[in-house]
């Protein structure tokens, strides 16, 4: 029998014990699961960053994978915890916007509010719901409990006011930065699919960042000299801004305006 997979995406870091405790709770309840650490380096309280990472891993895991994301600045407040199924995958997240991009891009089959305390740990801390609520919920999912066992249907959820796709601006697109990776690369919300659906081809698009002309989209970093900025379509299907062997975030800041226009022919 194939082991169920549970992924973990958090802002806990690895310096403290928090991440290990999540794994301990899961394994105590469901010892046969396989736990995959996506990242524990989401910047503290960065719900938007967690939402982006969650959206990027979603389609790459086998059917039946359970994704747990804990970036939870509202822990202990009235915010809810959600358990659901999108396509072939399951999730456990606080209802604070972490689900935004998955919810907008994937079909929802079931989404429930976790209310039945029988599926929590017996004592629930007001500041460590990752351990006491989300981890045991994930373990019970791995053991075959259906999402609807945990509570009522979620009639509404919290969504971030961040567009996952760039908006049209004349013949082109006005974009903004969704994510800054560890290399300082700016991942924008201008998607390759948007360019493909527009007259012209991907290589015939012109990019400017905060008024700085980067020229046409390139294929990769090495298409410009070392230290020079470059725009290209990255592996996730978004237009990205980088500096060859440098850091675009240091050059342009974390959220410069991005303009993508078709090259005049």
**What is the per-residue pLDDT for 108?**
93
pTM: 0.91
Sequential pLDDT tens for the chain (265 residues): 578 999 999 999 999 999 999 999 999 999 999 999 999 999 999 999 999 999 999 989 999 999 999 999 998 899 999 999 998 999 999 999 999 999 988 889 999 999 999 999 999 999 999 999 999 999 999 999 999 999 999 989 999 998 889 999 888 999 999 999 999 999 999 999 888 877 555 458 999 999 999 999 999 999 999 999 999 999 999 999 999 999 999 999 999 999 999 886 5
Query: What is the pLDDT at residue 199?
Result: 57
Any idea what DSSP says for residue 130?
A: I
pLDDT value for 202 = 45
What are the DSSP calls for 66-123, one per residue?
A: EEEEE--TTTTSS--EEEEEETTEEEEEESSSTTHHHHHHS-EEEEEE---GGGS-SS
pLDDT at residue number 197: 77
pLDDT score recorded for residue 1: 56
Strand order in the sheet with 81-86: 34-39, 5-10, 66-70, 89-94, 81-86, 108-113
Domains and CATH numbers, the chain: 5-149 (3.40.50.10790), 167-262 (2.40.30.90)
Alpha-carbon gap, residue 154 to 99, rounded angstroms: 13
pLDDT of residue 232: 95
């Amino acid at each position: 029998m194939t082991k169920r997979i549970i992924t973990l995406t958090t802002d806990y870091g690895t310096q403290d014990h928090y991440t290990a405790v999540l794994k301990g709770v899961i394994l105590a309840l469901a010892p046969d699961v396989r736990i995959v650490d996506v990242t524990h380096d989401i910047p503290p309280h960065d719900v938007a960053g967690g939402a982006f990472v969650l959206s990027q891993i979603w389609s790459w895991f086998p059917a039946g994978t359970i994704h747990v994301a804990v970036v939870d600045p509202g822990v202990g407040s009235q915010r809810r915890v959600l358990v659901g199924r999108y396509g072939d995958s399951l999730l456990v997240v606080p209802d604070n916007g972490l689900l935004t991009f998955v919810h907008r891009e994937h079909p929802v089959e079931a989404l429930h509010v976790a209310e039945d305390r029988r599926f929590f740990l017996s004592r629930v801390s007001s500041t460590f719901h990752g351990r006491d609520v989300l981890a045991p919920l994930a373990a019970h999912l791995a053991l075959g409990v259906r999402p609807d066992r945990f509570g009522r249907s979620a009639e509404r959820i919290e969504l971030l006011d961040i567009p996952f796709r760039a908006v049209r601006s004349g013949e082109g697109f006005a974009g903004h930065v969704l994510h800054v990776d560890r290399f300082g690369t700016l991942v924008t919300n201008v998607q390759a699919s948007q360019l493909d659906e527009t007259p012209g081809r991907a290589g015939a698009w012109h990019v400017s960042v905060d008024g700085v002309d980067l020229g046409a989209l390139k294929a990769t970093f090495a298409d410009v000299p070392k230290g020079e900025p470059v725009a290209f379509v990255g592996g996730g299907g978004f237009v990205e801004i980088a500096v060859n062997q440098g850091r675009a975030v240091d050059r342009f800041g974390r959220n410069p305006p991005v303009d993508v226009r078709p090259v005049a022919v």
